[in-house]
Structure 1
Amino acid sequence: MSKLKKRNPFTTIDRKGQTLRRFFFISSALLATFLVSACQTNEGSGEVTYSDLKAKGYKTGKLGASRENPRGGVGWYVSGNGERYWCVPSVTTVRIGADRFGVFRLANGQVYEVDEQQFAKSLRRDTSDSPQLSDIKAGRPRSQDISFCHKV
């Protein structure tokens, strides 16, 4: 009695020994994932830009922890017209006063002071556009300091 090999249902061997069915299955799954993610919009998610909220006259609170976010993190509550939004920062570097520089940790809002020249040299990044830490904490972020805002 001969032993029969189990055949994988996702592979079909063609004349050259290539596995075509697996390739087509994986590539079609990746294509479908890409198309679904490309077609999604933020309309139903409640996400808006910070500049839109500021243009409508919404007020920004001080930097603090989110009470609704189970993952933690810091950000700002922006409220007005009976609505409330949570805005997540995109700030990674801050100026501390006139002559000091720091790295801002988004998870808990801590700032780690670093040497600005060494930081800029190692990352090849301009640090002149970093916001003041006092402005970030007081609730005066710039539009580019905020990643996104969502309704809470």
Structure 2
Amino acid sequence: MAIKTLRYWLGAVSTVLFLLISALPSNAESYSSLQGKGYKTGKLTRGASGNLGWFVSGAGKKFFCTLHVAHAYVGKTGMVGFTSAGQQISLNRKVYEQYAGGFDASAPQLSDLKAGRLNARDVGNCAPAK
């Protein structure tokens, strides 16, 4: 009998702890909010974790925002894709557009990504940089 009630108490306590911890504020920011606060975006680089992304800095704080792009155009005829490890692989643009149904206007130019000229949709999570 005591074992049954102990199991319910442990379940209730762990649920309460989970809810309290998840309610704590996080340090993550969105790229849009950082841009709105006047933060400056650096060039495409690798962070401490090895992921591709950009350092965004301003107001004495520095964030690392991850790359959230599957593919990008290179000039008028080329195309690259990004693996989950952040490696660039060359893609055949004609074959891609044939199967995708044409030009993908939402795909960024690789030169814009490298220079830090970004759209918010191209950026993943932004966490404080170490």
The alignment status of 1:94 with 2:72, answered yes or no, reads: yes
The alignment status of 1:138 with 2:115, answered yes or no, reads: yes
Counterpart in the other structure of 2:30: 49
Please tell me whether Structure 1 or Structure 2 has the larger radius of gyration of its CA atoms.
1
Counterpart in the other structure of 1:21: none
TM, length-normalised to structure 1? 0.63
Counterpart in the other structure of 2:61: 83
Distance 1:148 1:63 in 2: 15
Counterpart in the other structure of 1:40: 22
Distance 2:93 2:77 in 1: 9
How many residue pairs get aligned? The number is: 116
Distance 2:113 2:30 in 1: 17
Distance 2:100 2:22 in 1: 34
Letter in structure 1 aligned against 2:89 = Y
Counterpart in the other structure of 2:106: 129
Deviation readout 1:36-93 (Å, 9 max, x if unpaired) = 58x936x6221111010001100001111113x3xx1111000000001010111111
CA contact (8 A) 2:77 2:93 kept: no
Give secondary structure in 1 for the equivalent of 2:111. helix
| C-alpha deviation, 1:105, in angstroms | 3.1
Give secondary structure in 1 for the equivalent of 2:32. helix
Q: Measured at CA, do residues 96 and 150 of structure 1 come closer, stay the same or move farther in structure 2, by a change above 3 Å?
A: same
TM, length-normalised to structure 2? 0.73
Identity in percent: 32
In the alignment, structure 1 segments of 5+ residues that lack a partner are 1-28
Normalized per residue, the structure richer in helix is 2
For the aligned residue pairs, the C-alpha RMSD in angstroms reads: 3.1
Q: Measured at CA, do residues 53 and 148 of structure 1 come closer, stay the same or move farther in structure 2, by a change above 3 Å?
A: same
In the alignment, structure 2 segments of 5+ residues that lack a partner are 1-10
